[in-house]
Amino acid sequence: MIDSPAIIDMEPVPERRAKGISPKPIHLWKDICLHWKAVAFLFLGCFILGAGAVWFKYPPLYEARAQILIEPVLPKVLYNQDNTSIIPYYDDFVRTQINIIKSYPILTRSLAQFAEKGFDWRLPGENFREGVKRLINLLEVSQIRDTQLVTIGLTSASNHGLSTLVNSIAATYMEGLKDKQSSADSSRLKFLKDRQDQLEEELKKKYVGLGEAANSQSIGSTDEKNIYVYLQAVVELQNTLMRAKMDEAEWKVKLEELIKHKRALKSIDISAEVDQWVESDPAIQDNRIQMSRKLQNMRIALGGMKENHPERMEFEKGFDKLLEFQNRMRLRAKSKAESVIRGKFLSDHNLKIQEATAEYYARKKNVERLTQEVRLSEEKASQVNNEMTRAVTSRKDITRIQDSLLMVNERIDQLEVESWSPGRIYIVNRAIKPEFPTAGKRKKLFVIVLLFSAVVGVGYAVGREKLDHRVWTTEDVQRIIGRQPTGYILDVNQLANKTLNPQTAALDDPTSVLAEQYKRMALSFIREQEQYQSRIFTGFSLYSGEGTTSILSNILCTLTQRKDQKLYVDLNVKNPKTKLPSGKNVRGLWEVLEGDCSLEDVIVRESRLPFHILPLGNWKLNGDSLYQEMGLDSLLHSLRMDYKCVMIDSPPFYSSTDSKYLAKISDVAIMVVQAGTSTDEQLYQVIQELDEMEIKVISLILNRVILSREGSWGKDKESFRMTSKTA
């Protein structure tokens, strides 16, 4: 079913799902107006009690104050620093001075001077120490913001000697400050001068040690650059040693190779050299020449001789002997040549071995010498480095000592200047005897009490409404179920005309506020009938006596249909309204269901009311349910055919299951909720239960609404005001 503005709460089941209870909003002014008596009572009570307590506990007090100017910092020309760097130290200094003023020694001497002037600070039965402690608690010493002024204040119920005591405290502080400053300056100067002598002595020793270190090495040996000369010499010696070791290894290899080659020379083949040497021998060459000549002469002499000629044979024998001699000579020369040549080779090779041996041992001695030189050079470099490190450390110590000595000298100069110009600390304003008391904290406390009283009163009203979970207004209904109700009815006691009959108010006084409200709801029901052909309406309340009968009868009175088109059915078996004056029910629905008569016989058509009435009848089983009564469905179907609007007055929801059954079989279920009787949770649970029963359409009407709760805050407040004035 589509929602409409006229019947904004008559909605089908699917559109009513998943709704919960929203937090109750706070209407401050409304809550105050509802509980203005309690708010006024709490406000006045708290204010009277609080103001009385403030009045008696905080009486008017006399106040005396003195001001001291504190300027202990020298100008920039003396300190050589900006004022921004002085400010934090100045604040610390002022806080320290405040604590000094409130210290036990200062106040003890102040009270002593105060007593010498004829005054007594102590209370009756109070010793001196307790009096000083009480003065410490009462004394107010503070710095005036963004100034160099410090105030010393004291409040008391009496002005007798008050200013004298404040001035005594200021004077005692000034005297103690001067004595302390003088003593502190002397102590600091003595300490700084002793420190100056100590630093100068240390500086002198460091200079002497640095000079001795320089003289023990060489001129400028303590310079950091000289260490590189020693390191370079060590590196060059190491490189030379490396080359010498390489030469030593090279000659060692050569010597070993020569020794191996000597063994090879003893067995090497030297025949070619021997033949060459034999051929080049002069004796062999001369013999060869003689042999050639003799052979030539023999050939000439034997020319033409026969082979067996004696001379030829003689010549041949001589020639053979000569050849044999030549061969023997050659063999002897060859043997001698082999011995000479091999000996020559070995002799030359031995010479080379001796030379290589000499070179090897020379290189070895050179390596040993260079190794010794490298070791000595490294020791020298290490020694120089150690001396240089000590020299550098000494120079750093000298620099540090010089800086410390410079700071000590500067501080000595500052203290000497400060002793002549210590700054300005003096009393600017002395305390004057107060003539009139001050209000003290009364004004502030009165304002606090006033605000507290207002908060208590308003908090009570807001808390009471916030903790009240009863349903009072249409706003509560919308907060619980998420929709506005179909309408609401004001409480008759809130109207000007209180003599109206609640059941026929719309008929008795058509211009009243109630009549106007019923008319608005009647329009919603007429629209429901026209759009969705709804004819059967079941009305029920959560509890008995919440006005369901009055609402249903007044709605029937304001509907525009004819009298014969509207029917009121009294089915409230718990408390039927259609009774005879004797207390017995008239014939009605029960007799029809029993078959004793027909509907035509029991429907009341003649009455002053503009609708027909179907009484309950003489219900014999009083207290039983209509849930299982046979024929009720068909009877309602018959009434649907005869009437355009059938209003069923059902028993309360929590009293019987009849209301649930009747709501189930009707077109629209009208739930009447009396304002201020049901809680949020109860209403929400009823709506959820009706949703689970799949009730077709629910219309909620809020009854007996208080005008102060709804009329001033509802959406139709202006029209209700006008109608109320008219009534």
Start-to-end CA span in the chain (Å): 37
Q: Output b/e per residue, 101-128; b: 16+ Cβ within 10 A.
A: bbeeebbebbbebbeeeeeebbeeeeee
Q: What is the Cα 52 distance to its own chain's centre?
A: 48
Both tokens assigned to 308: 């067996």
Contact yes or no for 653/542 (Cβ under 8 A): yes
Q: Are 453 and 47 in contact (CB under 8 A)?
A: yes
Report in angstroms the alpha-carbon separations of 547 from 99, 544, 552, 577.
78, 8, 9, 12
pLDDT of residue 451: 94
What phi and psi values does residue 22 have, to the nearest 5 degrees?
-85, 155
What 3-state DSSP class applies to 714?
Answer: coil
Question: Residue 567's pLDDT is what?
Answer: 94
What CA–CA distance (Å, rounded) separates 589 from 595? 10
The string of DSSP codes covering 129-149 is HHHHHHHHHH-EEEEPTTSSE
> Could you tell me which residues come within 8 angstroms of residue 337 by beta carbon, excluding any fewer than 6 positions away?
274, 277, 278, 281
Per-residue pLDDT of 137-151, as tens digits, reads: 988 999 888 888 889
Please compute the mean of the pLDDT values over residues 458-462 and round it to a whole number: 91
Task: Say yes or no to pLDDT of 345 above 60.
Answer: yes
Cα 704–710–714 angle (5° rounding)?
Answer: 130
Q: What's the pLDDT band for 553 if we cut at 50, 70, 90?
A: very high
pLDDT bin (cut points 50, 70, 90) of residue 258 is confident
Between 322 and 539, name the one with better pLDDT: 539
C-alpha to C-alpha distance for 227 and 388, rounded to whole angstroms: 8
Q: At what angle do helices 632-642 and 658-665 cross, to 10 degrees?
A: 50
pLDDT at 718: 39
DSSP for 685-698? Answer: HHHHHHHHTT-S-E
Spacing of C-alpha 647 from chain mean position: 65
Residues 6+ apart with CB under 8 A from 226: 218, 220, 384, 388
| Cα distance between residue 363 and residue 355, in whole Å | 12
Burial string for 402-415 (b: 16+ CB within 10 Å, else e) reads eebbeebeebbebe
Which DSSP letter does residue 21 get? P
Count Cβ atoms within 10 A of the Cβ of residue 681 and give its class: 0-12 exposed, 13-18 middle, 19 or more buried.
exposed
The token pair that represents 653 in the structure block? 């929801």
pLDDT at 668: 94
Q: For residues 344 and 464, which has the higher predicted lDDT (pLDDT)?
A: 464
Query: Can you give the pLDDT at residue 122?
Result: 83
Across 173-177, 480-484, 696-700, least confident range: 173-177
As a whole number, mean pLDDT of residues 311-329 equals 72
Considering only CA atoms, which of 426, 327, 352, 399 is closest in space to residue 70? Answer: 426
| Range with the poorest average pLDDT among 623-627, 687-691, 699-703 | 623-627
Q: Is the dihedral of CA 105, 107, 113, 119 positive or negative?
A: negative
Q: What is the mean pLDDT of residues 709-720?
A: 48
pLDDT at 80 over 60: no
Amino acid 62 reads Y
Predicted confidence at residue 424, as pLDDT, reads: 64
Q: How many CB atoms sit inside 10 A of residue 555's CB?
A: 26
436: number of Cβ within 10 Å: 7
Give 455 or 161, the one with higher predicted confidence: 455
Could you give the strand order of the β-sheet that contains 140-143, starting from the edge strand earlier in sequence?
Answer: 140-143, 149-156, 62-71, 424-429
Does the domain spanning 226-398 belong to CATH 1.10.287? yes
pLDDT tens readout for residues 377-421: 888 778 777 777 777 787 788 888 888 888 888 877 776 666 554
Q: Say yes or no to pLDDT of 709 above 90.
A: no
Give the number of other Cβ atoms within 10 Å of residue 69's Cβ: 15
For helices 310-420 and 162-217, angle between their N-to-C axes, nearest 10 degrees: 160
Going by C-alpha positions, the residue among 577, 644, 646, 654 that lies closest to residue 616 is 577
- pLDDT reading at 111 higher than 80: yes
Q: Quick check: 536 pLDDT over 90?
A: yes
- Note the pLDDT of residue 723: 34
- CATH code for the domain defined by 470-726: 3.40.50.300
- Domain spans in the chain, listed from the N-terminal domain onward: 28-58+441-466, 226-398, 470-726
Helix 271-279 vs helix 310-420: crossing angle, to nearest 10: 120
Buried b (16+ CB within 10 A) or exposed e, 153-163: bbbbeebebbb
Q: What value does the mean pLDDT take over residues 622-647?
A: 79
Tell me how far apart the 2 most distant CA atoms of the chain are, in Å. Answer: 217
Q: Would you list the DSSP string of 80-125?
A: -S-GGGTHHHHHHHHHHHHHHHTSHHHHHHHHHHHHHTT---PPTT
Q: Is the pLDDT of residue 445 over 60?
A: yes
Alpha-carbon dihedral sign for residues 79, 83, 87, 93: positive
Give the residue ranges of DSSP H helices in 442-512. Answer: 442-467, 474-481, 505-508
Rounded distance, CA 312 to CA 135, Å?
A: 175
Q: Which range is most confident: 83-87, 370-374, 520-524?
A: 520-524
What tokens appear for 375 in the block?
A: 């070791």
pLDDT at residue 23, rounded to an integer: 85
Confirm if 671 and 540 have CB atoms less than 8 A apart. yes
In the three-class reduction of DSSP (H, G, I as helix; E, B as strand; rest coil), residue 58 is classed as: coil
Place of tokens 């005869």: 642
- For residue 347, the tally of other CB atoms under 10 A from its CB is 9
Question: Residue 68 in 3-state DSSP?
Answer: strand
Q: Which of the two residues, 685 and 238, has the higher pLDDT score?
A: 685
Q: How far apart are CA 572 and CA 46, in angstroms?
A: 52
Q: Tens digits of per-residue pLDDT, 160-209?
A: 888 888 888 888 888 877 766 666 667 777 787 788 888 888 878 877 77
Contact present, 489 and 701 (Cβ < 8 Å): yes
> Taking residues 446-450, what's their average pLDDT?
91
Could you report the per-residue pLDDT of 484-505, keeping only the tens digit for each? 899 999 887 766 666 667 788 8
Q: Is the pLDDT of residue 551 over 90?
A: yes
The residue written with tokens 């710095």 in the block is 143
Q: Residue 340: is its pLDDT beyond 50? A: yes
Give 259-287 pLDDT, tens digit per residue. 877 777 766 666 667 666 666 667 666 76
**Residue 102, token pair as written in the block:** 């409130």
Is residue 571 a contact partner of residue 589, using CB atoms and an 8 Å limit? yes
pLDDT at 568 over 90: yes
Distance CA 473, CA 492 (A): 16
Per-residue pLDDT at 136 exceeds 50 = yes
Helix (H) or strand (E) holding 486: none
Q: Is the pLDDT of residue 702 over 90?
A: yes
As a dihedral over the C-alpha atoms of residue 614, residue 618, residue 620, residue 621, rounded to 10 degrees, the angle is 30
Q: Please determine, for residue 519, whether its predicted confidence score (pLDDT) is greater than 50.
A: yes
CB atoms within 10 A of CB 375: 12
